[in-house]
Amino acid sequence: MAVLLEVCVDSVDGLEAAIAGGADRIELCSALDLGGLTPTPGLIAAAARAPIPVYAMIRPHARSFAWSPADAAAMLAEIDAVRAAGLAGVVLGAARPDGHLDIALLRTLCERAHGLGTTLHRVFDLVPDPARALEDAVALGFERILTSGGAARAADALDALAGLARRAAGRIAVMPGSGVAADNVARIVRATGVAEVHASCREALAPDDSKGVELGFFPARPACTSQRLVQAFKQTLAAIG
């Protein structure tokens, strides 16, 4: 069975590199250095021409996963924009202050996204009861859960990921993400039995504007999706299959 590769990107260059490298699906974001935020209208427009499915992150800011009513209204508008652009799906997540999934808001968001594909993002890794959250995600109709198994890196939570995959029992996909790379993906797939994985396949770039870094305009360690790394990832997955 072929294992699907989803690549997260936050620029047009990254989008083009992921497609050229053979990615099977795109998670479209802005600000991957913050874990991914809602992509800009220009990036959404570019992704609408992609030959593979594109799922847009719906996350208006990086302060919390407990959204205010104003945040929720923004997320509904963002879902509408993704639908209007013709993208394949959205990536959603919402939590209550106690850490459990915000079922009421997620139901509202999923209803607004009806007809689009839906991924539950790594808000899942913060919940106090992953088994319950998985059942909630199934009931809400999510296609998959993006998760590191609650660890900083998916490779450090193989038992947890395997347990989630067993509990899912084909009702929802469990997609490992965070620190997944060509040199560890075979171990992750074999230990968990998952059918799809998520990676950034980013390559470090040299900062070309030290003054801009000093002033906070640019990250100190810039990176961008690498066609070469996506290709290496796909070759490894092909060997597993």
Beta strands, E only, the chain: 4-9, 25-28, 54-57, 89-92, 117-120, 144-147, 173-176, 196-199, 202-204, 223-225
pLDDT, the chain, mean? 95
- Cross-strand partners of 37: 30
The burial class, CB within 10 Å (0-12 / 13-18 / 19+), for 213 is middle
Looking at per-residue pLDDT, the higher value among 217 and 225 belongs to: 225
Question: Can you tell me which residue has the tokens 């690498």?
Answer: 226
137-142 mean pLDDT: 98
Q: Which residue type is seen at 92? A: L
For residues 138 and 51, what is the distance between their CA atoms, to the nearest angstrom? Answer: 28
For residues 189 and 175, what is the distance between their CA atoms, to the nearest angstrom? Answer: 10
127-144 mean pLDDT: 98
Q: Which residue type is seen at 192? A: T
The full DSSP string for 198-213 is EE--EEE---S-HHHH
pLDDT value at position 114?
98
- 161-185 pLDDT, tens digit per residue, is 999 999 999 999 999 999 999 999 9
Residue-range domains of the chain with CATH: 4-240 (3.20.20.380)
Minimal CA–CA distance to 150: which of 169, 123, 120? Answer: 123
- What the block records as the tokens of 124 is 């899942």
Looking at per-residue pLDDT, the higher value among 215 and 147 belongs to: 147
For residues 39 and 22, what is the distance between their CA atoms, to the nearest angstrom? Answer: 21
Q: How many CB atoms lie within 10 A of CB 209?
A: 11
pLDDT value at position 127?
98
- What the block records as the tokens of 64 is 């919390």
pTM above 0.85, yes or no: yes
How many CA atoms lie within 13 Å of 126's alpha carbon, on the beta-carbon side? 17
- 40-49 pLDDT, tens digit per residue, is 999 999 999 9
